[in-house]
Amino acid sequence: MAADCESKLQLVRRHIRDFPDFPKPGIVFRDICPILKDPAALTAVIDLFEEHVRKNHPQVELIVGLDARGFLFGPLLAQRLGVGFVMIRKKGKLPGTTASVAYDLEYGKAEAEIQEDAVAPGQKILLIDDLLATGGTLYAAGELLKKQQAEIMGCLVVIELNELNGSDKLKPLPVFSLVQY
């Protein structure tokens, strides 16, 4: 089982493409597009997330994905687990009554929204996204879900950029990342 897990992680790592100096000089962009293009790599990602969740969070009731790349992995994982999927979107993208939270980005501000009736108070959820950098977006999502009185069990990401210490910003929430740089 451990060997199978390691071979899946290696497959995922091989399908992450680096783009130096994008979107600006000094930044190495970690591209997940090759994972999405390769059915075996995408299956490996979902297998690894599923194994982690079944082992560590068997009581999860909803997977909540962040706009937009959390939408790529979240529904697949939710389907495997037999639970629902909910979206957190950028401001103005969801119909109906929404709850929102403002947060800071590197070069400005943003707002994240969720439909008010998407999560019931006390519902056990996991947040999912493709990448954890500084932690600002996942932190804002957590604040939004606290407003909804959800029980946040943790965060799942494909890639974590350790040097940016994003997981520190999310404490005490546990962060599970497949690949770290």
d(CA 162, CA 168): 10
Q: Which residues pair with 109 in a beta bridge?
A: 104
Ramachandran area for residue 4 (φ above 0: left; ψ -120 to 50: alpha; else beta)? alpha
Write out pLDDT tens, residues 43-100.
999 999 999 999 999 999 999 999 999 999 999 999 999 999 999 999 999 999 999 9
Task: Give the 3-state secondary structure of residue 99.
Answer: strand
Q: Domain map of the chain by residue range?
A: 2-180
Q: Which of 130, 150, 138 is nearest to 101 (CA)?
A: 138
89 is catalytic: no
Residue of 69, 80, 111, 143 marked active site = 69
d(CA 103, CA 29): 22
Q: Which CATH architecture has domain 2-180?
A: 3-Layer(aba) Sandwich (3.40)
Is 0.85 surpassed by the pTM of this model? yes
151 is catalytic: no
